[in-house]
């Protein structure tokens, strides 16, 4: 009964380092999302994937790249980490595909706490 699994749970990076956050879901959902959560700002969408093989930018995509490896997995990459990217990152998935998507409840992973020094 895993749902959405994110790894790692915690990570500390130095400025300029790169890293990939992993996300996998076992609910056979078509749509997957990456958010960042900053104090007092709720969650903001970084990238989303409406279906396997497609990815699109969200509200705050700069400094990030994503890969929808298959239906289950959606990874987020920081190529050159900056202190402004210190945040808690959440992956989510939902049912549905086609247009429009996003009306179904999104199910979230436990988050990755990322600190960039």
Partner 1 sequence: AQKVTQAQTEISVVEKEDVTLDCVYETRDTTYYLFWYKQPPSGELVFLIRRNSFDEQNEISGRYSWNFQKSTSSFNFTITASQVVDSAVYFCALIAPFSGGYNKLIFGAGTRLAVHP
Within 13 Å of residue 16, how many CA atoms lie on the same side as its CB? 0
Which of residues 3 and 17 has its CB atom nearest to partner 1 in the complex? 3
Q: Is the dihedral of CA 39, 35, 3, 31 positive or negative?
A: positive
**Is position 48 an interface residue for partner 1 (rule: CB under 8 A)?**
yes
What is the closest distance, in whole angstroms, from the C-beta atom of residue 57 to partner 1 in the complex?
8
Neighbouring C-beta atoms of residue 86, cutoff 10 Å: 16
User: How many residues make contact with partner 1 (CB under 8 A)?
Assistant: 28
**Is position 53 an interface residue for partner 1 (rule: CB under 8 A)?**
no
CA distance linking residue 16 with residue 31, whole number of Å: 30
Among 43, 63, 72, 75, binds partner 1 (CB under 8 A): 43
Q: Map residue 85 onto helix, strand or coil.
A: helix
Among 11, 58, 72, 75, binds partner 1 (CB under 8 A): 58
Q: Which stretch binds partner 1 (CB under 8 A): 14-22, 34-42, 62-70, 72-80?
A: 34-42
**Is position 24 an interface residue for partner 1 (rule: CB under 8 A)?**
no
**For tokens 């959440």, what's the residue?**
90
């Amino acid at each position: 009964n895993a749902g959405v699994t994110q790894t790692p749970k915690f990570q500390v990076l130095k400025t300029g380092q790169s890293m990939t956050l992993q996300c996998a879901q076992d609910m056979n959902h078509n749509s997957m999302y990456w958010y960042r959560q900053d104090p007092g700002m709720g969650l903001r969408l970084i990238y989303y994937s409406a279906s396997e093989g497609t990815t699109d930018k969200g509200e705050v995509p700069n400094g990030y790249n994503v890969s929808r490896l298959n239906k289950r997995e959606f990874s987020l990459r920081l190529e050159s980490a900056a202190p402004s990217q210190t945040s808690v990152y959440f992956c989510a998935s939902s049912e549905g595909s086609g247009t429009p998507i996003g009306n179904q409840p999104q199910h979230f992973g436990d988050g990755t706490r990322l600190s960039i020094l």
